Amino acid sequence: MAIDESKRLQVTLTALRGVVMIAAGIAAFLFPTQAVKFVLLAGGGLLLVDGGLGLASMDFAGRRNNSFYLALARNLFCIVAGLTVLASGPLSNVFSLGFLAGFVGLLAVLAGLVEIVSILMDRVRYSSPLTAMLSGALYIVFGLALMFVPLSSATTLMRIATIVIVLYALSLLYRAWRIRTAR
């Protein structure tokens, strides 16, 4: 019995996700140091974009109250942290990588704390303050991890993460096979 086009597309895309994850997982397992560098660069780009979009969404013509200044500080912390990560190559000639990781971690902790404080001060603006507070808490956890987890253990953590990724990818391939054979 032939499968219809939507099921064929679902099977193909699910299998493609599995194959891409397996390839990325194997590459990250074999080259954990390069994978950590890539993840750090992507994280720096995300911090920069997050701060930039936060600045762009601010109402500079509106009232300048405590919430405005807290949001401004949070976005600037994110931008400085993102720029520090992206410029870590040239900066590593001047500062050690441990110092840079601690500095970015401190900025992330400050951004998370400022986000939580601004949410507590201006609950009316948020439809669900719990999810916004969770975002701030994740920034704090990220910052603390950068500050206190040694960079040498990052490659070990990357290898463990790639094993999990490959197992997840295998489950995707199994799911694609089950969808394909279902009648």
Give tens-digit pLDDT for 81-133: 889 888 887 887 888 877 888 888 899 899 989 989 988 887 776 666 777 78
State the Cα–Cα distance between residues 48 and 141, nearest whole angstrom.
Answer: 18
Backbone angles phi and psi of 93, in degrees to 5? -75, -25
Q: Is-contact 105 144, C-beta < 8 A? A: yes
Neighbouring C-beta atoms of residue 8, cutoff 10 Å: 13
User: 3-state class of 183 per DSSP?
Assistant: coil
Q: Is it the case that residue 77 has pLDDT exceeding 80? A: yes
Question: In the prediction, which pLDDT does 183 show?
Answer: 58
State the Cα–Cα distance between residues 16 and 21, nearest whole angstrom.
Answer: 8
Q: Tokens representing 10? A: 């679902």
Q: Is-contact 144 113, C-beta < 8 A? A: no
Note the maximum CA span of the chain.
66
Q: Chain-wide mean pLDDT for the chain?
A: 81
Distance between alpha carbon 23 and the CA centroid of its chain, in Å?
Answer: 20
Q: Please report the sign of the dihedral spanned by the C-alpha atoms of residue 94, residue 98, residue 102, residue 105.
A: positive
Q: Is it the case that residue 39 has pLDDT exceeding 80? A: no
CA distances (Å), 128 to each of 31, 53, 73, 106, 124, in order? 41, 20, 22, 27, 9
Q: Is-contact 77 51, C-beta < 8 A? A: yes
Question: In the prediction, which pLDDT does 1 show?
Answer: 45
Question: In the prediction, which pLDDT does 136 show?
Answer: 83
Average pLDDT score over residue span 168-181: 81
Q: Is it the case that residue 2 has pLDDT exceeding 60? A: no
Determine which helix (DSSP H) or strand (DSSP E) holds 182, and give its type and residue range.
none
Query: Residue 151: pLDDT band by 50, 70, 90 thresholds?
Result: low
